[in-house]
Structure 1
Amino acid sequence: MTDSGHWLALAVALAIGAVIGLERGWQRREVTEGGRVAGLRTFTLIGFAGGITGVIGERVGPVLVPVALAAVAGLLIIGYRRRLRDDEDRGITTEVAALVTFLLGALATLEAPLLAMAGGVITAAILGFKPRLHALLRRVDATELRAILQLALITAVIIPLLPDQGYGPWGTLNPRTLWIMVVLISAIGFFGHFAVRLGGPRRGILFTGLFAGLASSTALTLTLSRAARGQREYQPLFAAAVVMASTAMFPRILVLVGAIQPSLLPGLYVPVAIITVVGATATLVLAFGARSGGEGATGTPMAKPFELQTALRFALLLAVVMMAGEALRRYAGDAGVYLLSLVSGMTDVDAITLSLSRMASSGLSATVAQQGIIIAAMANTAVKLGLAVGIARGRMGWLVGAGLGSVIAAGAIWTGVTIWQ
């Protein structure tokens, strides 16, 4: 690192200590001078010391960092023991924060000043949110705690262990991809549970539908369709959320295309706008019709925060559809982009959207690429309609059928007109 780089790193180390020290000093601002183990000045110096240690460590060897860290820890232990004589507070948050500050200061000198600064801001935020975090702990019950741990387990532990390559017929089945869908479905159910708890049934379900559309509207459709079978009084709300999530998928397509091939956007603005308006109108109609949804209900919608079995069944269904789609593509003789879009869109819109966008940059007609993207989105919407009708049944199936049916009709009319022009 150059001298100018060292100066920048040391400035970042100072800033990290000051940010964390500001929060710690404010929390104990009522304590008399000299009564705090560490405050604004001490934390700033600790961050600076970490930066200096990192700079010196570049020359004398990396062993200096753990040695200096042990020395800082020793000083903090002495201060903590002295504090216990005058204060009944046995918490060690400030001492741990001081050690983190030192390490972040050292990290700033190891070619990662931005990462160190981000770590400092996150540390200060965690420390400052103490009342809210403690209030959250008081509101979380044993079932929700297990759900948090289970979701963390299937995400952080299992995903890295799964191979990222194709198996089975034609290499169609990718274990990691399928398991990511399991995690996604579980996460949507988990998010929906807490959204309902915080915002109530109506706002919580609709809020979940809106943001699930940015991740996986298919996963949301499956989750709510399963829930609707045992909670029929909430079916109108579930239907509105499904149509909302499916509608949110179309603006997301524009973002993906814009990132890969912006030249395709002009031809997609009109169909996406038309479909989005139709879907948004259907959502409003369903949401308005469900304004009294849940009255007289005896249960809470999305009461279970974690349902792994549902997610596993969807992954199995996805695997079957993926193999069937690949078989159709191969044995139909690869009938072209439209057939590929139709088959691929049944399982995943993002993949075919990105593929056609790349193909448009290497010779594929822009019109064909645009039509293929819309066809894929319509196929995906039809799959969600089928899931809702086949799984939820009853009133939700009819309501989703009406809402998504209007979306499919709008897309089909545009596609038919443009293809025959």
Structure 2
Amino acid sequence: MDNIELFQRLGLAIAIGAAVGVERHWRERDEPEGARAAGIRTFTMVGMTGGVAGLLERSLTVGTAYTGFVIVGFLIVVAIVMAIFELRQAIAEQSYSVTSVIAAILTFGLGALAVTGDMVLASAGGVSLVAILASREFLHSAIRKLQWIELRSAIILLTMTFVLLPILPNTPVGPYGGVVPRSVVLLAIMLASISFVGYIAVRMLGASLGDLIGGAVGGLVSSTGATVDFARRSRELEEADASDAISLAAGAAAAGAVSLVRTIVLVGALAMSLLPELLVPLALGAAVMAGYATVLARRQAGAAGERSLGNPFELTAVAKMAGLLTIVAFIARAATAHFGSAGLVAASAISALADVDAVAVTVAGMLPPLDIATAGRAVGVAVVTNMVAKAVYAFAFGRRSFAMHILVATVLAVGAGVVAERLQAMA
């Protein structure tokens, strides 16, 4: 490692300390000189101390049995000194916070990492540390507002994601590609996440805007899953909140609009030659659904009262929905296997009962041997089928008022897309 790189690494260690010091000093900026235990200068020097310890570590202990002793020794000294001064300040102010001591230890460690390890990780760690320190008020406020049912739902979601999912087999079971246990749980996690995001959005932004944003976020993941989840939630509404089905319908329509935009992006990324065939119809359909969602959200925004929020997601209901969509996907694969490439359009329609992305990826992979007109027709049929399927799901799982709005939005969007496709064909 040359001197220039060493200077860069030591400079990063100092910069990390300075960034943390700015936040710490700003928080106690009104204190007179000598009244704060550590500010911008102290934390800058803590970061520099970590860097110097790293340099000494590299110079003195590389290749010996004492690797790591220098950094650990410096760390112990820094921790003890900071703890002593923070203790004196805590006694004087009757405070019980050890945040600055932990921040100093982390700053030292990141400074040492900047010199001896990965500079990118050190930089990311420094930014994350400053962000955590600066978000104290937000985090404290969020914890005060947090309810037990929300905490429980978050714990269940995290357990499913980081404990259950990694240990499940990733090999298919059964014919026609089978069912992959990990994929089923991943689908359940996706549905639960959509529901949880929607719940948080409604709590923070109110019913109309929260459902609209929650639906748009859900559309980035799965518009089918978002529609099914919103439909289920509309049926669970109490009679006093029945009018909120309109707000949920706005969210489902927003998910549909985002899904169409996502298909445009996917086709453009995988098969640019196919994009001119689909761009105008899909974009017009997305605009119609987005407009309809906006109208519904504005209409509901004037409604009085607030929705009574229940469980962020009911695990049993989520499992049932995941199982249903898995069965639909399995049937679609079986039908595709029987139709073969000769029935591409029919197979695309069946596959789209669960998802459009798989069809878009498959069709894009068949180009250029497959002609553009057939490819465009296959993707177009898949998009229309998926939109109609979501309307059917809305009637099957949601309130009638919710489902009627999804049906109207679907008819308008499909009609606009068909008209655009016909005009494009005549041009």
Structure 2 length-normalised TM: 0.88
2:68 to 47, 57, 63: 63
Q: Would you say the 8 A contact 2:14–2:44 is kept in 1?
A: yes
Q: Would you say the 8 A contact 1:279–1:403 is kept in 2?
A: yes
1:83-105 superposed Cα distances (whole Å, 9 cap, x missing partner): 34423111000111111112222
1:69-120 superposed Cα distances (whole Å, 9 cap, x missing partner): 3332232233333334423111000111111112222222345323322221
The reply to whether residue 407 of structure 1 matches residue 413 of structure 2 is: yes
Q: Would you say the 8 A contact 1:186–1:306 is kept in 2?
A: yes
Which residue of the partner structure matches residue 338 of structure 2?
Answer: 331
Question: What is the 5 A alignment of 1:6-45?
Answer: 6-45=6-45
Which residue of the partner structure matches residue 267 of structure 1?
Answer: 277
Q: Percent identity?
A: 32
The reply to whether residue 384 of structure 1 matches residue 394 of structure 2 is: no
| Inter-partner Cα distance in structure 1 for 2:172 and 2:32 | 65
- Label 1:290 to 1:32 Cα distance change in 2 as closer, same or farther (>3 A): closer
Q: What secondary structure, in the 3-state scheme, does the structure 1 residue paired with 2:204 have? A: helix
| Inter-partner Cα distance in structure 1 for 2:339 and 2:24 | 67
Q: Would you say the 8 A contact 1:374–1:415 is kept in 2?
A: no
Letter of the 1:147 partner, please give it: S
1:221 to 227, 232, 236: 227
- Label 1:167 to 1:119 Cα distance change in 2 as closer, same or farther (>3 A): same
Question: What is the 5 A alignment of 1:16-165?
Answer: 16-58=16-58, 60-61=61-62, 62-64=67-69, 65-165=71-171
Q: What secondary structure, in the 3-state scheme, does the structure 1 residue paired with 2:176 have? A: helix
Q: Would you say the 8 A contact 1:14–1:44 is kept in 2?
A: yes
1:322 to 329, 349, 356: 329
1:151-199 superposed Cα distances (whole Å, 9 cap, x missing partner): 2222222222223332222333222222222112112221222221222
- Label 1:375 to 1:11 Cα distance change in 2 as closer, same or farther (>3 A): farther
- Label 1:22 to 1:338 Cα distance change in 2 as closer, same or farther (>3 A): same
Structure 1 length-normalised TM: 0.89
Q: Would you say the 8 A contact 1:342–1:379 is kept in 2?
A: yes
Over the aligned positions, Cα root-mean-square deviation in angstroms equals 2.7
Letter of the 2:244 partner, please give it: Y
Which residue of the partner structure matches residue 243 of structure 1?
Answer: 253
* Structure 1 residues without counterparts, runs of 5 or longer: none
Letter of the 1:268 partner, please give it: L
Q: Would you say the 8 A contact 1:382–1:408 is kept in 2?
A: no
1:186-219 superposed Cα distances (whole Å, 9 cap, x missing partner): 1222122222122222222122122222222222
Alpha-carbon offset, residue 23 of structure 1: 0.2
| Inter-partner Cα distance in structure 2 for 1:358 and 1:6 | 48
The reply to whether residue 313 of structure 1 matches residue 313 of structure 2 is: no
* Structure 2 residues without counterparts, runs of 5 or longer: none
1:280-317 superposed Cα distances (whole Å, 9 cap, x missing partner): 34334444554555x477x52x5322322221111101
- Label 1:333 to 1:202 Cα distance change in 2 as closer, same or farther (>3 A): closer
Alpha-carbon offset, residue 321 of structure 1: 0.9
| Inter-partner Cα distance in structure 1 for 2:197 and 2:90 | 41
Q: What secondary structure, in the 3-state scheme, does the structure 1 residue paired with 2:221 have? A: coil
- Label 1:54 to 1:273 Cα distance change in 2 as closer, same or farther (>3 A): same
1:208-262 superposed Cα distances (whole Å, 9 cap, x missing partner): 1222222222222112111111323212222222112101111112222333343
Alpha-carbon offset, residue 341 of structure 1: 2.3
- Label 1:320 to 1:292 Cα distance change in 2 as closer, same or farther (>3 A): same
Q: Would you say the 8 A contact 1:378–1:411 is kept in 2?
A: no
Alpha-carbon offset, residue 320 of structure 1: 0.7
Q: What secondary structure, in the 3-state scheme, does the structure 1 residue paired with 2:94 have? A: coil
Using the TM superposition, name which of 66-75 and 137-146 deviates more: 66-75
- Label 1:36 to 1:401 Cα distance change in 2 as closer, same or farther (>3 A): same
Alpha-carbon offset, residue 380 of structure 1: 2.0
- Label 1:229 to 1:50 Cα distance change in 2 as closer, same or farther (>3 A): same
Which residue of the partner structure matches residue 370 of structure 2?
Answer: 364
| Inter-partner Cα distance in structure 2 for 1:58 and 1:257 | 51
- Label 1:296 to 1:252 Cα distance change in 2 as closer, same or farther (>3 A): same
1:7-28 superposed Cα distances (whole Å, 9 cap, x missing partner): 2222221111111110001112
Question: What is the 5 A alignment of 1:186-205?
Answer: 186-205=192-211
Q: Would you say the 8 A contact 1:172–1:322 is kept in 2?
A: no
Letter of the 1:196 partner, please give it: V
- Label 1:349 to 1:129 Cα distance change in 2 as closer, same or farther (>3 A): same
Letter of the 1:215 partner, please give it: V
The reply to whether residue 184 of structure 1 matches residue 210 of structure 2 is: no
